[in-house]
Amino acid sequence: MPELPEVETVMRGLLPSMEGVVIAQAQVNRPDLRWPFPDRMADRLTGARVTALRRRSKYILAELDRGETLLVHLGMSGRMTVSGDPLGQFAHDHPQAAKHDHVVFDMENGARITFNDPRRFGAMDLIPTAGLAEHKLLKVLGPEPLGNDFHDDYLMAAFANKNTPVKSALLDQGIIAGLGNIYVCEALFRAAISPKQKAGHLTSRQVAALVPIIRRVLEDAIRAGGSSLKDFRQANGELGYFQHCFDVYGREGEPCRREGCTGTIARITQAGRSSFYCGKCQR
């Protein structure tokens, strides 16, 4: 499932074609994805201007001039790609319609935004903008790891007395919004913290080091266009490249890349998810 860097990459790729632009025609080709689409979604979107486009956690939010916000979740295999961009950022013309093109936005500027999702685990919803913060998917989210509300004092308080492994705590969207398995594994490696370490047992020094490391991992991944392991594509259809920079994720049995460490990367299962780490240098 796309994590924060992938969703941020897609959102940034959509910005030139969507923000400030009217949706000339919205086409909805099926009644649902993970859950049913809102009533009359195509009619409610057609003619609306996208006044702002942003990301919250793993969701793309398109604020509309009609007082509603379109929430988009890419799910496991969802892609939002742009074709026919008049700004010249995308070389390809509009492609032929594909089997899993479930939602299509033809923009007033000539761009076409296509939401393709073979597995149909993605989702869209239309939410009154005034009540956006209280939507069931958004109100439970913790602070953004790239925002000012995420700092070592906050994380130390969030971890206090937690007996769960730090890996599980970092995946808790109520503690930090948008982090997923890949980037938690990579951040814990850079911080030399074992994923098995209890969150409540981390020292203030460890937490103070972990916060900027999490930010750097995410920023590095965004600069690389995210990670393409299976289905993920950027808005221009290109792959992300951060998977070539993984220090631990997916590298079970390979040598540790930390200078001076002679350990190998191990994989364990925590709460049904694979954790990759070096048992020698991550304590």
Q: Which residues are catalytic?
A: 2-3, 58, 273
DSSP secondary structure letters along 12-67: HHHHHHHTT-BEEEEEE-SSBSSSBPPTTHHHHHTT-BEEEEEEETTEEEEEETTS
Radius of gyration of the chain (CA): 20
Q: CA torsion 250→254→259→261, rounded to 10°?
A: 120
Strand 23-28 with 112-116, pairing: unpaired
Beta bridge partners of 268: 275
| Distance, CA of 70 to CA of 78 (rounded, Å) | 16
| Closest to 89 (Cα-Cα) out of 235, 267, 205 | 235
Contacts of 59 (CB under 8 A, 6+ apart): 7, 71, 72, 73, 137, 138
Cβ neighbourhood burial of 269 (10 Å; 0-12, 13-18, 19+): exposed
| Closest to 85 (Cα-Cα) out of 8, 27, 16, 162 | 16
Residue type, 14: L
